[in-house]
Chain A
Amino acid sequence: MLEFFEEFPEMSRGDLRDFKKVIDSAFRSFSRTYGESIENFFDPVLWFLIWFEKLLLNTPWPIIILVVAGLCYLGARSWKLSIGSLLTFALIGYLGMWEDTMSTMALISVATILCIAIGIPLGVWMARSDRVQALVMPILDVMQTIPIFVYLLPVLMLLGIGKVPGLIAVCVYAMPPIVRLTNLGIRLVDKGVLEAADAFGADKKQKLLGVQIPLALPNIFAGINQTIMMALAMVVIASMIGVRGLGIPVLQAIQNQYLALGLMNGLAIVALAIIFDRVLQGYGKRLQKDREVKKNG
């Protein structure tokens, strides 16, 4: 009887081993049967990623720099930011990181767009239904905390190394903040405002697009900021499964203790993150300002 309390009544070693073996072999046969069709399913994503990377790599560099500076101005309406991004990209190119930076930019742009495109609708859906929220919240927790290679190993077995597993890794890790903050932002909208909208006879769609989302914008943009930062932080992990880009030289630097190489490429990742973020935040601020002007005027 005392033994029961002293030793945890654990599964016998043989059973535990068989249990693990069953899971492993089940996954193996799944991957053998469906691997190819799953791979084909993701092919369009792969083609788009390759096309976009080639586009960035084959366009002459002055055009890319000008386009980036132009986008900065369009997004944030700030000369300072445009000139800053222009100088940053010139420096990145001068230090010999142009091609890696373009590869990383291609992956991160697609990942960010994908995260926002899936994350915001999911967040809205969560805000509208407590049941969906109860279901999605734990999934988001898993996505953010599970050690990355735990799910990357099965993904590698299914899809092989390359861009698509890299994209999946980035999105799994980077999507939760935008979902969470969209959900939170919409839930925080003042009940009184919603009642007023009801009183004016707004239907569900009008309430969502005209009241809830505009009022939730500060939170949503905080979510976008977090998503971008986390996506760029995942660049190195993506490189660990064969994605070209700034992560590869960082890995090289870590293995061999090349301080300068690591710092340069690491800072290039930071620069990309800051430019991406400032442009989108600037755009977000302008959206909110427009709204305020309309309200006051």
Chain B
Amino acid sequence: MKKISLSIFIFYIFFFLLSFKAIASNCEFQMADMNWPSATLMANVDKFILEEGYDCKIELVPGATTATFITMNEKGKPHVAPELWTNAIAGLLHKALEEGRLFSAIKGPITELGEGWWITPHTLKNYPEFKTVLDILERPDLFPAKEDKSKGAFIGCPAGWGCQLANQSLFIAFEMEKKGWVLVDPGSQAGLDGSMSKAAERGDNWFGYYWSPTSLIGKYNMKLMDFGVPFAGSKNWDDCIAKGPEGCIEPKPSAWTESIVQTVVTSEIKEMTEVMNYFGKRIFPGSIMNSMLVYMEENQSQGADGAIEFLEKYPEIWINWITLEAAKKIKKAL
């Protein structure tokens, strides 16, 4: 019995010391380190800048979109999700923002991001008349399908992914079958990646679905094509295109829906003006993010190494995010 009370006593002391420490630094919080490369790079850049430039203390905790959002919303921890793709959790996030539990520190921390239809860069060079997706659709002969050379192959989204349904709908909406195309299901991300890198390495033409920021897009300098038609409204997208051919009979041609990415913070962080100012200015240009992802893949490096490489290589970008005083401290730390 005595032993137990002693250990409880020690526990209390620890707890006391711990809480004391938390008070000592008024900028101490947790950030989600999401399980894909661009987000982990961003989290590590934030950690370095905030720790070295603003004397914060930051703990990175592993995360994934839905799980992180739920714990942030319910438990207030982790305090920051640097790169949250909010399309999938739009309804829930809207509610949390309205209730004032979460706040958006910046919309679009990376430019030029999103999903869409891409082609290989040499194809665009050889056929400069390709201005939009509509121009490509007239030339299925340039993208012969493996199993039926008379048809053009459009590489869609792997079976079971949300984007598979949207691609199927757009395939119908643009009347691609009539124009001589087949929709190829790559089956998995490995299949999709393999088909794209094979074409890019070999100099073949490739036309298909992908998204950015990703190392493959950066590595092969893939070109995102304009759809040549405007976004035909969220009603058409959400109630029809996104439901696939079985849920939607007459899809209208449309550009891909905008992917919304935000840095989301809890109310605790909102009080920290300096930190919020930093997040509000922190925008990665898409091309630089892609080239960083290529660097990380080629060197098989982790987020922390990537962050230092970024800070060393692109000071002209992050210098605009922070105060002069912080910039001096960070340059010293590098």
Contacts and interface: CB of A to CB of B under 8 A. Distances in A.
Interface of A: 17, 20-21, 28, 31-32, 35-36, 46, 50, 149, 152-153, 156-163, 239-244, 247-249, 251-256
A256 B246 CA distance: 16
Contact of A156 (B160, B194, B298, B300): B194
Nearest to B148: A50
A95 to B, nearest CB: 16
Interface of B: 146-148, 158-161, 164, 184-188, 190-191, 194-195, 197-199, 201-202, 298-300
A20 B300 contact: yes
B194 A157 contact: yes
B265 to A, nearest CB: 31
Given A17-B300, A153-B194, A239-B187, A251 B160 contact: yes
Interface centre among A160, A244, A251 (most CB of B within 10 A): A160
Contacts of B164: 252
Contact of A242 (B161, B187, B202): B187
The residue among A35, A50, A162, A163 with the most chain B CB atoms within 10 A of its own CB is: A162
In the complex, which of the residues A17, A21, A242, A248 has the most CB atoms of chain B within 10 Å of its own CB atom?
A: A242
Contacts of A153: 190, 194
11 contacts: A17-B300, A153-B194, A156-B195, A161-B186, A163-B147, A241-B190, A242-B185, A242-B186, A251-B188, A252-B164, A255-B160
Nearest to A236: B187
A242 B195 contact: yes
A32 B195 contact: no
B302 to A, nearest CB: 11
A242 B190 contact: no
Contacts of A244: 185
Given A153-B190, A241-B187, A248-B187, A162 B160 contact: no
Nearest to B192: A161
Contact of A31 (B185, B202, B298): B202
A157 to B, nearest CB: 5
A162 B138 CA distance: 24
B147 to A, nearest CB: 5
Contacts of A157: 194, 197-198, 201
A156 B200 CA distance: 13
Contacts of B186: 161, 241-242
A295 to B, nearest CB: 50
Contacts of B148: 50
Contacts of B185: 242, 244, 248
A152 B190 contact: yes
Nearest to A257: B160
Contacts of B197: 157
B195 A160 contact: yes
Contacts of B159: 239, 248-249, 251-252, 255
Contact of B160 (A32, A163, A243, A253): A253
The 6 closest A-B pairs by CB, nearest first: A255-B160, A156-B194, A240-B188, A252-B160, A251-B159, A240-B187
A149 B190 contact: yes
Given A157-B201, A158-B198, 9 more contacts: A46-B146, A160-B199, A161-B146, A161-B195, A162-B147, A239-B187, A240-B191, A243-B187, A251-B187
Contacts of A36: 202
A198 to B, nearest CB: 53
A50 B197 CA distance: 25
Nearest to A256: B160
A156 B190 contact: yes
Contacts of B146: 46, 160-162
A292 to B, nearest CB: 47
Contacts of A46: 146-147
Contacts of B188: 240-241, 251
Contacts of A247: 187
A294 B65 CA distance: 70
Contacts of A35: 198, 201-202
Contacts of A254: 160
A242 B201 CA distance: 19
Given A241-B187, A252-B159, A160 B198 contact: yes
A247 B159 CA distance: 10
A35 B194 CA distance: 13
Contacts of B299: 17
A77 B203 CA distance: 55
Contacts of A252: 159-160, 164
A153 B146 CA distance: 18
